[in-house]
Amino acid sequence: MVNSDIVRYFREGIERGFSVQVLKKNLKDNGFREDEINDAINSLPASHKNKAESLEKIDNHIEQHRNQGRFMQNDEMHEEERFRHPNMQVKMPVERKENTDGQKPGIFKKIGKAFSHPGELFSATQSDGIGPALKYWFVISLLPLIASLIGAIVLSAYVSSYFTQFGLAFLAGASVFLITAALTGIIFAFLYIIIPILMLITAGFLHLFVKLFKGTGSYANTFSAGIYAATPSIILGFIPGVNFITWIWTFVLMILGLSIMHKMSKVRAFFAIIFAWIVLGGLISLIVYLGLLFY
């Protein structure tokens, strides 16, 4: 998806006399990726592309005069150079401005962005450490925890009615409490202890492959990308018939998150994930095989 803020940045910059190369360099210096910059350039209107080509020719002409040690005598060229290299800045795209201002979206805003504008979410949370990502995980995990609690109550009520039919009413009340407590406790341990530990471990393993594919971010970036990418799976994954879609959705978000947080192409992010899964799956299979072999 083309970033409309970057397109606006190029349009305003070209209208004010800056060449595409100058604007592009400024964006790259401020952390924007090559692919999203090129997508924005390709989506510019024809009128802006034509003007950009003219500005590029002027830039090359000025540079040629400088390299040859010749001074420009033409007043128009002096004026053109003065206009196109002033001490003024074109407003940076909003997405980057939010990051440089240090403004962090709240948890519920993060949830909304995960579904509506995931690119903005990953850009705004690049400096998040492991702590904020875990806090986000604990909050969104409340939804499946509550859903499991409701399911446990329904199941225990069914078992209770079964005991009552056979004249075991004294077991009915106990069964409601025991089943509800047991199932809720298991889900709680799974969501708040087991999964976070596994994600910390797998993020470290994935980070090795991200680095192999020229990722520039930190381990915390890899871990955060995984946490935020899992938003659809956690919030909607417990709904029957929807979970498979949310897994695919999470995979796509993971690619996007790694590409933004590690400033790498989506293709590299894709292969980093695939190779990490293949190697990790192979190691687990080997461990299971050896365990069965020597059991």
The count of other CB atoms within 10 Å of the CB of residue 220 is 19
Does residue 97 register a pLDDT over 50? no
Q: What is the pTM of this model?
A: 0.61
Q: According to DSSP H, which parts of 68-194 are helical? A: 75-84, 94-100, 107-116, 118-124, 130-140, 142-165, 169-189
Show me where the domains of the chain are located: 4-100, 108-293
What pLDDT was estimated at residue 48? 76
Indicate the average pLDDT of the chain: 79
DSSP of 184-247, one letter per residue?
Answer: HHHHHHIIIIIHHHHHHHHHHHHHHHHHHTT--S-HHHHHHHHHHHTHHHHHHTTSTTTHHHHH
pLDDT tens digit sequence for 150-184: 887 887 777 777 666 666 655 656 666 677 788 88
What pLDDT was estimated at residue 42? 83
Q: Which residue has the higher pLDDT, 222 or 293?
A: 222
What pLDDT was estimated at residue 96? 44
What pLDDT was estimated at residue 95? 45
Does residue 290 register a pLDDT over 80? yes
pLDDT tens digit sequence for 35-46: 788 888 888 887
- Residue 236 to residues 73, 173, 239, 244, Cα–Cα distance (Å): 68, 32, 6, 10
